[in-house]
């Protein structure tokens, strides 16, 4: 398996524009997580899905953020409208069914810059 695949790797956009980040989890994994990493706040969990269903989105900072998982092999994180303070590295991660004792596998991240 190629691991968790995120696209794009880098995104530069202007304030007010819509941004969509994409993630393909590892096949067979039933948990999917979206994290945001900044110097100031470290690694923050935004939302996670179990079997394509959003379980906890309490980490989503504002209504401008939304996430979907239409099927087991694809998820999106959308920011509309984007703001400069959204600039960060966004990671997607997945883990295996029944995985309390299993580790999460992270994608390489999308570095978002909002100017």
Partner 1 sequence: AQSVAQPEDQVNVAEGNPLTVKCTYSVSGNPYLFWYVQYPNRGLQFLLKYITGDNLVKGSYGFEAEFNKSQTSFHLKKPSALVSDSALYFCAVRPAPSSGGSYIPTFGRGTSLIVHP
Contact set with partner 1 (CB under 8 A): 4, 31, 33, 42-43, 45, 48, 56, 91, 93, 100-101, 103-109, 111
User: Closest CB to partner 1 among 4 and 88?
Assistant: 4
- Which three-class secondary structure state does DSSP give residue 89? strand
- Rounded to the nearest whole angstrom, what is the least distance from the CB of residue 81 to partner 1 in the complex? 27
Q: What does each C-alpha distance from 80 to 49, 99, 105, 106 come to in angstroms?
A: 21, 33, 27, 24
Our CB check for partner 1 shows the closer of 31 and 65 to be 31
**Residues 49, 75: contact at Cβ < 8 Å?**
yes
């Amino acid at each position: 398996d190629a691991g968790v695949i995120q696209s794009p790797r880098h995104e530069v956009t202007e304030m007010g524009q819509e941004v969509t980040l994409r993630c393909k989890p590892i096949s067979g994994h039933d948990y999917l997580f979206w994290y945001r990493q900044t110097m100031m706040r470290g690694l923050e969990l935004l939302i996670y899905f179990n079997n394509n269903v959003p379980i906890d989105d309490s980490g989503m900072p504002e209504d401008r953020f939304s996430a979907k998982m239409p099927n087991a092999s694809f998820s999106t994180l959308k920011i509309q409208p984007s703001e400069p303070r959204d600039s960060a590295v966004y990671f997607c991660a997945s883990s295996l069914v029944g995985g309390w004792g299993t580790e999460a596998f992270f994608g390489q991240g999308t570095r978002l810059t909002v100017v």
